[in-house]
Structure 1
Amino acid sequence: MCGIWALFGCDCSDLVKCKEALKVAHRGPDSFQINNLEGLKNSMVAFHRLHVVGGIGGMQPMILKKYPHLTLLCNGEIYNYKTLQNEFDYLFQTDCDCEVILHLYNEFGGEKASQLLDGVFAFIVIDTKQNCVMLSRDSYGVRPLYYVTTKSGVLGACSEVKGLCELPVEGDIRHFPPGHYMFCDIMKNGKVIPSTPTKFHRIDEPPAHLQYQRLELEHGTILLFLLPGLEEETVKRNIRYLFSRAVDKRLMGSRRVGCLLSGGLDSSVVAALTAQKLKEHGVAEPLQTFTIGMNSDSTDAIAARKVARHIGSEHHEIAFTLEEGIKAVESVILSLETYDVLVIQSSVPMYILCQYISRNTDNILIMTGEGADEVAQGYFHFLEQPTPEDGHKESMRQLQQIYMYDVLRIDRCTAAHGLEIRAPFLDHAFTSYYLNLPADMRAPKNGIEKYFLRAAFAGSNLIPNTTLWRKKEGFSIGVSEEGTSWFEQLQQHLEGLITNDEFARASQSYTHNPRTKEELFYRQIFEKKFGSKLDRICTYQRRPKWAQA
């Protein structure tokens, strides 16, 4: 987790622009660098680093002696960098995983370089030989990237909106779409010719990097497993193998690893496998797991306690009050850069939890179970799907939009406190395999959501059997004691802060009218900080037409 910032085609001598780069300093608290690019007029780049992989040579902007015309800014972790280094016989100048991007770019170009990376990333390559700048983002948008282009030839890019929203440019700030890359030509005067992002990978396609990985699977390579006719038990073994591997590769780095643990299926499987893999790697210190609730009787706290005992983790339970949650709302919205109600409700407890981890422990890399509900059909409305094919389409839709919701939440809540999130359920090899299984195999069964994922781990004793089949609960519900949810308490409080007249006038003030007083409250905080022109970066979550309201 790092922070990147770049500005092209604009007079960069103004200190105001430098201050904009400092607004994402929380993403990289260990080192900072800001530079004008040599030989490129009206340009400036900045980098905030969190030291995870590699030593001082991993500082950016990265320019290698072999390719002096290339400059790299990357917020990412490239899990297969050693595999690619060996496959193509690259001689590395640094011990940083991101260096492989420059080698791939020089040999294959930007599109194939993006396709070959197994990891999460948002990167910018400036090529002074070709006079262009390239942007690229991983397929699920686990690492954030925003950009703005103008007709006058300005291009700005940053890990968060706050690094762009006060620049003196007239364009709209947009999400850079996940799974896309973009080239923009740079003219002699430093101005940039705007371009359109191009897709380099579909989330249901086997990623290109798999051809360079020697997976020791039963039938040779993972590609064979995408063929029909496999026995169900074979498929389950492959799921366990691929997901275990997804967890293992995300332990890469020199910083201590901790796990968020709600006591549900997703976080429990991740925590159990993390504890297992750390022991296999000879890590002596126990895995630390973290749960948050409004009291010790919250359903998450009780369930997580049981899992922690089962896997032998050093468990931390953090309690927060309604008052503490309400007090954190404004900070959460400023971190999230959205006014989406569901995202904010679930982010407040997570934000408080990450603050605790940062202040009281030495954990930096944080494992989480996000992504499982979208991949394996875990939300309750999947139980209502008319056909398995409808369920598959809904799963794909949610995964294509996850960067605006759950992925946004986990990135910002951790980044706000100098932590780095890792989400193995969004591993490319695992998800492409799972999404290509027959639709009826992945559909809920017997009224149980995520049925096949649960069944794949049945009998393994990885987690308690009651946890394996525990009914899905939303994070906002699980952090409360049974019968009263955190979001209901929050709603009741905010109802009293917005008058009926103020709510009635809201329809005259906003393009998308707030539907509740709670939503209006969040919208007011959002616009106070970011203004109204950023409306397009926020999208309401919508259920499929076949789901009950």
Structure 2
Amino acid sequence: MCGIWATFGVTGGLTPTCVKCFSNIRHRGPDAWRIEQDAREPLAILGFQRLAIVDGLHGMQPMRLHCYPRTTLICNGEIYNCKRLQKQHEFQYETNCDVEAIIHLYQRFGIEEAVTNLDGVFSFCLVDGEKKKVYIARDPYGVRPLFSFHDPENDVLAICSEAKGLLGLKQNGSPNSTLGQFSPGNLQVWSILESGKVKLDYTHQYFTPGKAPKFEPYVPENKLIDMNVNEKIAYLLEAACRKRLMSDRRIGCLLSGGLDSSLITAIVVKLAKEYKLPYKIQTFAIGMGDSPDLAAARTVADYLGTEHHEVQFDENDIRKELDNVIYHLESYDITTIRASLPMYLLSKYIKEKTDTTVVFSGEGADELAQGYIYFRDAPSEKDAHKESVRLLSDIYLYDGLRADRTTSAFSLELRVPFLDIQFTHHYLSIPPKLRQPQNGVEKHLLRSSFAKSGLLPDCVLWRHKEAFSDGVSSVKKSLFSVIKEITTERLQEDDIQYPGLQPKTNESKYYRYVFEKSFPGQHNFTPYYWMPKWVQVSDPSARFIKHYAAK
């Protein structure tokens, strides 16, 4: 997890506005920073905020190689097949940094071939000074964030890991300028004009959920031939965790005690022993009072023998951090903000109280494996499959965004194995009927794939589904009830008319009010409120769905 920032065509070069914008993403890379302006391209400025995870000596960016001195790269990401690419194509690496593979692939095969051969998570900007081209790309599910700003009247382009690093440019831009998320699975090609300004050549969507990856898979197909459906799922999920262990910093796991985080934690603990990591895996759980998540996470931690940390939070913590959470999220979605509060507080604890920097998490399982309770009401298996693909396509706007922003706010690097490209492709290729809830149990196929593994006790493996923002709540009083009381108390004006989505409750009105203070006019950041499908509810909490089983 790092922060990337670049501008092209801004008159005056590195203006005070640019410097302020660049400093707004300092939290993403506290270890070092660099900002460069190429004398040969005076209107091109590239900046990098670094969180050192791999190759502390040579991993600084913007990156240039001796063999390609006119090609410059800034990238926030991890390329898991960097060594396989090196061996396959006999690349001569100059660093131990995984993102170097992007430059070699581009020089050997061109940008479109390069981006489709990356097995990893990434947002990058590559500048070819010889060809006068700028290439921008984002990983298939948008695990690594990226925003873009375009002012067509002034031929200006800028990109940044977070919108807060571009707002100043937007405010000084023309009325037709736009600022928004760069779509996952997309590549853009821009030309640098003689004036130093830029012009868009084309946009290419190189990936959609379920599409087979073009790169050589981490697990060869012939290794899966003799396995049954459950064995393949278990093997590929372990492989997804295995490739994500690359780190020179300490690794830990976010552990709610639910299926997703518990599975990932169990696999990481198993692999840590196999690789003889010189430390125990730390696990982190958070909850209010008698939260069911705290109790379940404690059961998992005891079973796995982790160095476990429990964090208790209360109403005072919510009051203190609610506005900060909205600022870091850059969203006013109700579900996202609710779920982000405990994750934000937990990340703060990890940063301040431990030496863990890389954290594994279970994001993506509900979208991929039909884990949301409302999937029981899907009209057909085909509809359920379509909804799963839709959720994966939009995860960067909701749960993916939450996971990145709450951890990056405290300079932590997030790893999400469930969104591994080979794993998601395989899972989505399984007959839809098998992926649906069975006998009232969500993610039945995923659970049954680990039923005989011994990785988790049955009480955890088959624990009922509970949304994170509900599971961390006290049994006596839900988190969203506390939040509703606070937001109603704070709301001063409730008749403001906003463009885009209209907030209807006091809670949503307060979220929008706080959002507009930092991101005025940027309602496009949240295209719709996350809500369950196929059920009639007025609140997104799982507690209002008839199938809800939590006590």
TM-score by length of 1: 0.94
- Of 278, 286, 309, the residue aligned with 1:284 is 278
Aligned to 1:334: 327
Aligned to 1:91: 92
Distance 2:354 2:199 in 1: 47
- Of 202, 205, 215, the residue aligned with 1:209 is 215
Aligned length: 531
Q: Report the secondary structure of 1:181's partner residue.
A: strand
Q: Report the secondary structure of 1:148's partner residue.
A: strand
Distance 2:73 2:91 in 1: 17
Q: Report the secondary structure of 1:310's partner residue.
A: helix
CA contact (8 A) 2:188 2:200 kept: no
Distance 2:279 2:498 in 1: 55
Distance 1:375 1:195 in 2: 34
Q: Report the secondary structure of 2:25's partner residue.
A: helix
1:194-246: CA deviation from partner (whole Å, max 9, x where unpaired): 355321122201211135764661428xxxxxxxxxxxx70110100000010
Contiguous gaps of at least 5 residues in structure 2: 538-551
CA contact (8 A) 1:377 1:449 kept: yes
Compared with structure 1, are the counterparts of its residues 213 and 369 closer, same or farther at alpha carbon in structure 2 (3 Å cutoff)?
A: closer
Shift of 1:494: 1.6
Q: Which moved more, 1:323-332 or 1:258-267?
A: 323-332
Aligned to 1:459: 452
Aligned to 1:364: 357
Shift of 1:283: 1.1
CA contact (8 A) 1:381 1:548 kept: no
Aligned to 1:321: 314
CA contact (8 A) 1:83 1:213 kept: no
Q: Report the secondary structure of 2:449's partner residue.
A: helix
The alignment status of 1:512 with 2:505, answered yes or no, reads no
- Of 168, 181, 189, the residue aligned with 1:183 is 189
Q: Which moved more, 1:46-55 or 1:264-273?
A: 46-55
- Of 406, 414, 419, the residue aligned with 1:413 is 406
Aligned to 1:237: 231
Compared with structure 1, are the counterparts of its residues 319 and 543 closer, same or farther at alpha carbon in structure 2 (3 Å cutoff)?
A: closer
Compared with structure 1, are the counterparts of its residues 218 and 522 closer, same or farther at alpha carbon in structure 2 (3 Å cutoff)?
A: closer
CA contact (8 A) 2:398 2:530 kept: no
Shift of 1:535: 1.3
Q: Which moved more, 1:474-483 or 1:408-417?
A: 474-483
Distance 1:482 1:409 in 2: 24
Distance 1:213 1:37 in 2: 41
Distance 1:315 1:197 in 2: 46
1:65-95: CA deviation from partner (whole Å, max 9, x where unpaired): 1111210000000011000000000001111
Distance 2:403 2:364 in 1: 11
The alignment status of 1:539 with 2:527, answered yes or no, reads yes
Distance 2:256 2:191 in 1: 47
Aligned to 1:229: none
Contiguous gaps of at least 5 residues in structure 1: 221-232
Aligned to 2:511: 522
Distance 1:196 1:404 in 2: 24
Distance 2:97 2:274 in 1: 24
- Of 411, 418, 428, the residue aligned with 1:435 is 428
The alignment status of 1:133 with 2:127, answered yes or no, reads no
Q: Report the secondary structure of 1:6's partner residue.
A: strand
- Of 443, 463, 475, the residue aligned with 1:482 is 475
Structure 2 counterparts to residues 18-97 of structure 1, below 5 A = 18-97=19-98
Aligned to 2:262: 268
Shift of 1:545: 5.5
Shift of 1:149: 1.2
Distance 2:424 2:39 in 1: 42
Structure 2 counterparts to residues 244-255 of structure 1, below 5 A = 244-255=238-249
Q: Which moved more, 1:535-544 or 1:367-376?
A: 535-544
Aligned to 2:342: 349
Aligned to 2:547: none
Shift of 1:544: 6.7
Distance 1:138 1:452 in 2: 27
The alignment status of 1:169 with 2:173, answered yes or no, reads yes
Distance 1:497 1:344 in 2: 16
Aligned to 2:4: 4
Question: Could you tell me which amino acid in structure 1 is paired with residue 244 of structure 2?
Answer: R
Distance 1:453 1:144 in 2: 28
Distance 1:437 1:10 in 2: 49
Aligned to 2:200: 194
Q: Report the secondary structure of 1:194's partner residue.
A: strand
User: In percent, how many aligned pairs have the same letter?
Assistant: 43
TM-score by length of 2: 0.94
CA contact (8 A) 2:217 2:422 kept: no
Compared with structure 1, are the counterparts of its residues 399 and 531 closer, same or farther at alpha carbon in structure 2 (3 Å cutoff)?
A: same
Aligned to 1:293: 287
CA contact (8 A) 1:84 1:212 kept: no
Alignment RMSD, CA only? 1.4
Distance 2:526 2:501 in 1: 10
Shift of 1:538: 1.3
CA contact (8 A) 2:64 2:71 kept: yes
Compared with structure 1, are the counterparts of its residues 364 and 434 closer, same or farther at alpha carbon in structure 2 (3 Å cutoff)?
A: same
Q: Report the secondary structure of 2:215's partner residue.
A: helix
Compared with structure 1, are the counterparts of its residues 543 and 388 closer, same or farther at alpha carbon in structure 2 (3 Å cutoff)?
A: farther
